[in-house]
């Protein structure tokens, strides 16, 4: 019985006014009360998406976003009572949403908004700094693995999605120039301390981080970073990533006896 009622409630929120008839009175007053309740729930879901995807909303406007948010909510009811977890499927949904077909940047922008939110809510963790690796012999360092900070998320796009996203964030500088080209760009989003930061990534930096994410040693990550450009300064690349707090710890190689 509870499961049947739950499904009926879901159908009611999706617009089936008679879904709860077996449990409730069917008079006009009851219908009106359900309508108010349904609208309140729909507004809460739309507000949750607005908070999670502020850059998308800024690009399309409040009215367009609200209609999209309500359509998404009808097709994707929350799976948990925590609305902060709501919307993980919104970027993929936007990619297939007919009114967004002429705006191919919306889905990847939504991915970055979602990454910002996840970084913001990520667990705290120590920061691996330059002082922590000072004095480690090069062979030992190259054989070690650097674990990414739990908040770190990084992306590589074939065009300037990061520039569009950065220029349209709620805290973006007014009049910031947007580069709408097919120039490949990377972006790192993380919260090493109390504030989420975002930083453009070179291809070498992205390759380095991707190798670390795959469990490669620092030596292997360095080799990967050289592939796009053999002239890359590896020491500076690693130092720059350390300085922004991209790693949480160093794991020396464990040798078998």
Rounded distance, CA 237 to CA 218, Å? 12
pLDDT of residue 242: 97
Q: How many CB atoms lie within 10 A of CB 88?
A: 13
- Quick: pLDDT tens for 101-151: 999 999 999 999 999 999 999 999 999 999 999 989 999 999 999 999 999
Average confidence (pLDDT) per 10 residues, the chain, 257 residues: 48 51 51 53 78 95 94 79 76 95 94 96 95 94 97 96 92 72 93 94 98 97 96 96 97 65
Q: Are 87 and 46 in contact (CB under 8 A)?
A: no
- pLDDT value of residue 9: 46
Determine contact, residues 149/248, Cβ cutoff 8 Å.
yes
Q: What is the pLDDT of residue 252?
A: 87
Which residue, among 102, 82, 96, 127, has the nearest Cα to 243 in the 3D structure?
127
pLDDT (0 to 100) of residue 256: 41
Q: Are 104 and 160 in contact (CB under 8 A)?
A: no
Query: Contact at 8 Å (CB) between 183 and 209?
Result: no
- The answer to whether residues 128 and 248 touch, using CB atoms and an 8 Å cutoff, is yes
Predicted local confidence at residue 79, as pLDDT: 66
Interatomic CA distance for residues 195 and 175, integer angstroms: 24
Domains of the chain: 1-121 (no CATH), 126-257 (3.90.930)
Contact 41, 30 (CB under 8 A): no
């Amino acid at each position: 019985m509870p499961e049947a009622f739950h499904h009926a409630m879901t159908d009611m929120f999706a617009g089936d006014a008679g879904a709860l008839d077996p449990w409730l009175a069917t008079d006009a007053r009851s219908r009106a009360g359900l309508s108010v309740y349904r609208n309140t729930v729909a507004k809460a879901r739309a507000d949750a998406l607005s908070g999670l995807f502020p850059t998308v909303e800024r690009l399309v406007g409040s009215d367009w976003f609200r209609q999209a948010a309500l359509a998404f909510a009808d097709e994707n009811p929350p799976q948990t009572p925590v609305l902060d977890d709501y919307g993980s499927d919104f970027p993929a949904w936007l990619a297939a949403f007919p009114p967004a077909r002429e705006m191919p940047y919306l889905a990847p922008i939504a991915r970055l908004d979602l990454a910002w939110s996840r970084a913001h809510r990520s667990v705290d963790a120590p920061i691996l700094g330059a002082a922590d690796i000072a004095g480690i012999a090069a062979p030992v360092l190259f054989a070690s693995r650097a674990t990414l900070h739990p908040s770190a998320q990084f992306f590589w796009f074939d065009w300037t999605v990061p520039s569009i996203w950065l220029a349209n964030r709620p805290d973006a500088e007014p009049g910031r120039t947007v580069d709408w080209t097919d120039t490949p760009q990377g972006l790192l989003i993380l919260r090493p301390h109390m504030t989420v930061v975002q930083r453009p990534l070179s291809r070498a930096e992205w390759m380095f981080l991707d190798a670390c994410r795959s469990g490669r040693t620092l030596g292997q990550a360095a080799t990967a970073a050289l592939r796009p450009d053999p002239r890359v300064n590896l020491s500076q690349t690693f130092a720059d990533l350390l300085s922004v707090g991209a790693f949480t710890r160093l794991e020396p190689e464990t040798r078998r006896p």
